[in-house]
Every structure is written in C-alpha cells, then in structure tokens.
Amino acid sequence: MGLRIAFSHLFYGVFSLCLSTGITDAKITQIASLVLRRGEEAQLTCKQNDNHNYMYWYQQKQGQGLKLISYSTAAENENMEQGDNSDSFHPSRPNTENFNMNISAVQVNHLATYFCASSLDTALHYHLLLLQKPPSGQVAPLISTQT
C-alpha cells in the first residue's frame, strides 16, 4: 500500500490569508504560498504522481483533530464526496493526478492546516491517525511552524 501526504498551513492575519507548504515524501506537491484578503477565493492545489485513485483533503484547526473535508475515488469529478463541512469548500478532480480545493469567501474560521493525501486503498485513515499521534519518544513526521 502506498501513502502520500502533504500539508499546507493557513494563517489568517488582520485581513489576509497566507499559505505555506511542508512536503513529505515528495510524491505529492501543493501550492507554495498564497496571500488573500477576506472574502477572496483560496485555490489549494494538490498533485500526486503515483496514479492513486483515492485522494483526500483534511482540515485541522489548532488544538483539534483532523476533519475530512472531501475525498475522491476516481478522476474527472466522479465519486467525490464532501465531509461534514460548510458550503465554502469546493473540490475538483480533473484527472487522476490532481485534486484541488477552492475555498470561497475566505474568513477567519478557515484558519487551519490543510492536508492533501493520496492512497492506493482506503486504509489511509488509520495511517493518518498514526502520523498524528506517534508512539512515545518518537518525533511526528508532520511538523508545522509559524514565524
């Protein structure tokens, strides 16, 4: 089974939104940076090169667990589902490699870390849990820092 994960951290300033990227395994790439004003649209892009059918977008607000925003089991916008979230998230899957997420009318409540993931099968949820809570004494592979 293959597992690929990348994440982007959204930081909301007074009237702007900043997006920076951390990448693990270099099989998934995401947009490097994005600065927006309140009310503008955020376009988060995710590309994987392992030909995985399963792709996911997760949101993690500070101090909370991962929340599934959307997932796709096929390309060309087929078999896409949204998790329990607001109407401001709009996913698109134009082909196998890309799974994009637009956030319409960016607001303060969009402050979060956004994870894009792909997998050969649906066991991904189990692996994400392990990545978020490593065994005692080990360093978590996903680290986000603010400067």
In the chain (147 residues long), the average pLDDT of successive 10-residue segments reads: 45 32 56 76 90 88 90 79 75 92 88 84 48 46 38
Residue pair 100/44 in contact (Cβ under 8 Å)? The answer is yes
What are the residue ranges spanned by the domains of the chain? 3-132
Residue for token pair 């990227």: 21
Residue 35's pLDDT is: 72
Residue 122's pLDDT is: 63
Residue 25's pLDDT is: 44
User: Which of 56, 72, 64 is CA-nearest to residue 125?
Assistant: 56
Residue pair 62/72 in contact (Cβ under 8 Å)? The answer is no
What pTM, to 2 d.p., does this model score? Answer: 0.65
Residue 46's pLDDT is: 92
Residue 2's pLDDT is: 44
Class (C level, CATH) for 3-132:
mainly beta
Q: Which two tokens stand for residue 26?
A: 């270099």
User: Which of 66, 58, 55, 68 is CA-nearest to residue 27?
Assistant: 55
40-44: long-range contacts (C-beta < 8 A, 24 or more apart)?
40/105, 40/106, 41/102, 41/103, 41/104, 41/105, 41/106, 42/10, 42/17, 42/102, 42/103, 42/106, 42/110, 43/100, 43/101, 43/102, 44/8, 44/19, 44/100, 44/101, 44/102, 44/103, 44/114, 44/116
